[in-house]
Structure 1
Amino acid sequence: MSDPVVREPVVVIHGGAWAIPDKLSSASVTGVCAAARAGYEVLIRGGSAVDAVEAAVRVMEDCPAFDAGTGSVLNTKGEVEMDSVIMDGRELRCGSVACVQNIKNPVSLARAVMEKTDHTLLVGRGANEFAEEVGIQRVPTDSLVTEDAREEWRQFMQFKTTVNVLFRNSKSICRDGGHVTSAACDTRGHDTVGAVALDRFGNTAAATSTGGITAKRPGRVGDSPIVGAGAYADNESGAVSTTGHGESITKVCLARQVTHHMESGMSAQAASEAALQKMAARVKGHGGVVTVGKDGDIGMHFTTERMAWSWIKAGKLHYGLNSGENFVIDV
């Protein structure tokens, strides 16, 4: 019997695709780089791809610069409702939670759904009750919400602006009753976070987490916890995590689109670009993806103004924020 092929471990991270303002650019890049380091450390120690993406996403959930866990935004009632998904490419196992409240790290709760239940998705009160059963403690809502998020909520409630402007691929203006409201455009907290990984045993995994969009309807669920939309992983093709306008991503099952293209022979990069082009053409949606192929090739593409991203392979950390950027340093 031949020895199994040992893969070069890879982890790829995104911190959200949207019109990231300059005041958040440094923190966003720092956060995705820290997440990549956390995930890569798991991989080089022989940990699984699932372990790596959970570790990476937890770092970003703990960082108030991102809209996931700590830093989550508020719905119209001034409440926090979070969504997350994790998927193991070995046997297509997956778990997700939606509209969960008062949980510091929803990605870990999603993993518990995958590993400790017969289900793939738990929502709302049921998700919170399950969290208590498995020993995941509730935290106060105030501990998850930054003052910036509260100010953005106040602006949205005043101006009643659409969330769609946050994901356009150019500078956008917001209007209220026909008048430009620049204050309502200076927004944050729309940066869904995600990670994909390939471990040395050839297993893939993906995870995505979000606090949603400011002033959403209570009970609104976007793409993030939906398998095939917010994330997908299959050892026969690769792993994908998506970000951007959730309704658009859900309509085209963006993550599954990417893996479908890879199954047809496309590289991770070509598949990422093709799927986002399809979403723009079909539903006029914008967003971003990070991808790793089954053989370790990397894809990263976005059609919004900016996306915080990073990846590590062979001891090199790559990162960027704007189109065309690719800074590289040794890990």
Structure 2
Amino acid sequence: MNPVVVVHGGGASHISKDRKERVRQGIIRAATVGYNILREGGSAVDAVESAVAVLEDDPEFNAGCGSVLNVNGEVEMDASIMNGKDLSAGAVSAVRCVANPIKLARLVMEKTPHCFLTDQGAAKFAAAMGVPEVPGKQLVTERNIKRLEKEKHEKDAQKLDCQKNLGTVGAVALDCRGNVAYATSTGGIVNKMVGRVGDTPCIGSGGYADNDIGAISTTGHGESIMKVNLARLALFHVEQGKTLEEAADISLGYMKSRLKGLGGVILVSKAGDWAVKWTSASMPWAAVKNCKLHSGIDLDDTSVTDLP
């Protein structure tokens, strides 16, 4: 198989001009890291984990360092990962003092009999696994402090919720052995209640991977995504014979018409086809196949370059 990796940086209602280039470079960097792993014979799971970790380490994205803040001004992060070879999966939620929640989610997948650990249990497991604890303040950025202050002062913040707070990062990949995987990570939504968990760590909502179909990672309004099981819904349409683009359009359209929820998806099929679709204003993304790097942020904004 020709390996493929696709990465997204979350749906967005607006990305300022001064941030756009930094966001674009961050996405391209993550996709390149993931693809280089695949090109050297690495697994799809390794590729998606590494690509997402790059974005967690980049303060421009709502995951890891750069996560948005809850009502108390604290970071609470969610992540999940899945191996399409055997449907093994790992997820964590309400994680506070870990630099890379996606790495902790993979440890849950590979080192426990469970799929999902949360909050204090996830923290104890991280400590037991030797995952370094980082000070919570280290994950907080000045931009997100200002975002929280702005959100608290805005009227009708809850009503705007479906249209805003769409930031998540994710990756899907197909490796040379025909295995697929996905990984998704987020800081959640600005000004959320303490303990709020969205779609990102929920298998079938924040993502899904099955070698018999393909892999998908989602982004968008978490409560809407959970209500329609967006990831599994889109792959169901692929199973029914729809193209990746058709499956994405149908499932995103259903979520928008039923719930007014906006979002985006990245997909890769078992045959190595890939697609990116979104209903939010924009979604930073990058995809690499056959050493050709495709990337974009807005609907009519796609560039193609050759990787060395």
Give TM-score scaled by structure 2 length: 0.97
Deviates more, 1:94-103 or 1:156-165: 156-165
Alignment of 1:196-207 (within 5 A): 196-207=172-183
Whole-angstrom CA distance in 2 between matches of 1:305 and 1:8: 32
1:217 equivalenced with 2:211 (yes/no):
no
Letter in 1 for 2:7: I
Contact 1:167 1:304 in 2 (8 A): no
From the superposition, tell whether residues 90 and 249 of structure 1 become closer, same or farther in structure 2 (CA, over 3 Å).
same
Q: May I ask how many residue pairs the two structures share in their alignment?
A: 306
From the superposition, tell whether residues 98 and 141 of structure 1 become closer, same or farther in structure 2 (CA, over 3 Å).
same
Residue number in structure 1 paired with 2:171? 195
From the superposition, tell whether residues 206 and 163 of structure 1 become closer, same or farther in structure 2 (CA, over 3 Å).
farther
The alpha-carbon deviation at position 20 of structure 1 amounts to: 2.9
Deviates more, 1:56-65 or 1:262-271: 262-271
The alpha-carbon deviation at position 141 of structure 1 amounts to: 1.2
In the alignment, which of 250, 258, 276 is matched to residue 300 of structure 1? Answer: 276
Alignment of 1:228-307 (within 5 A): 228-307=204-283
Whole-angstrom CA distance in 2 between matches of 1:163 and 1:80: 20
Unmatched segments (≥5 aa) in structure 2: none
Whole-angstrom CA distance in 2 between matches of 1:130 and 1:76: 26
Whole-angstrom CA distance in 2 between matches of 1:255 and 1:163: 25
From the superposition, tell whether residues 164 and 16 of structure 1 become closer, same or farther in structure 2 (CA, over 3 Å).
farther
Contact 1:72 1:82 in 2 (8 A): yes
In the alignment, which of 130, 152, 162 is matched to residue 157 of structure 2? Answer: 162
Residue number in structure 2 paired with 1:178? none
Contact 1:167 1:287 in 2 (8 A): no
* Alpha-carbon displacement from aligned partner over 1:120-159 (angstroms, at most 9, x marks no partner): 0000000011000001011011111110000111112223
Whole-angstrom CA distance in 1 between matches of 2:155 and 2:194: 16
Structure whose CA Rg is larger? 1
SS in 1 for 2:283: strand
Whole-angstrom CA distance in 2 between matches of 1:326 and 1:91: 34
From the superposition, tell whether residues 164 and 67 of structure 1 become closer, same or farther in structure 2 (CA, over 3 Å).
farther
Residue number in structure 2 paired with 1:90? 85
SS in 1 for 2:167: coil
1:318 equivalenced with 2:297 (yes/no):
no
SS in 2 for 1:60: helix
Contact 1:18 1:166 in 2 (8 A): no
* Alpha-carbon displacement from aligned partner over 1:43-101 (angstroms, at most 9, x marks no partner): 00000000000000000000000010010111011111000000000010000000011
Contact 1:20 1:307 in 2 (8 A): no
Contact 2:69 2:75 in 1 (8 A): yes
The alpha-carbon deviation at position 24 of structure 1 amounts to: 2.3
The alpha-carbon deviation at position 161 of structure 1 amounts to: 4.4
Alignment of 1:23-42 (within 5 A): 23-42=18-37
The alpha-carbon deviation at position 190 of structure 1 amounts to: 4.5
Moved >6 Å (runs of 4+): none
In the alignment, which of 1, 6, 16 is matched to residue 12 of structure 1? Answer: 6
CA RMSD of aligned residues (A): 1.3
In the alignment, which of 140, 148, 154 is matched to residue 153 of structure 1? Answer: 148
Whole-angstrom CA distance in 1 between matches of 2:241 and 2:120: 42
Residue number in structure 1 paired with 2:102? 107
Unmatched segments (≥5 aa) in structure 1: 1-6, 169-186
The alpha-carbon deviation at position 166 of structure 1 amounts to: 6.3
Deviates more, 1:279-288 or 1:62-71: 279-288
Give TM-score scaled by structure 1 length: 0.90
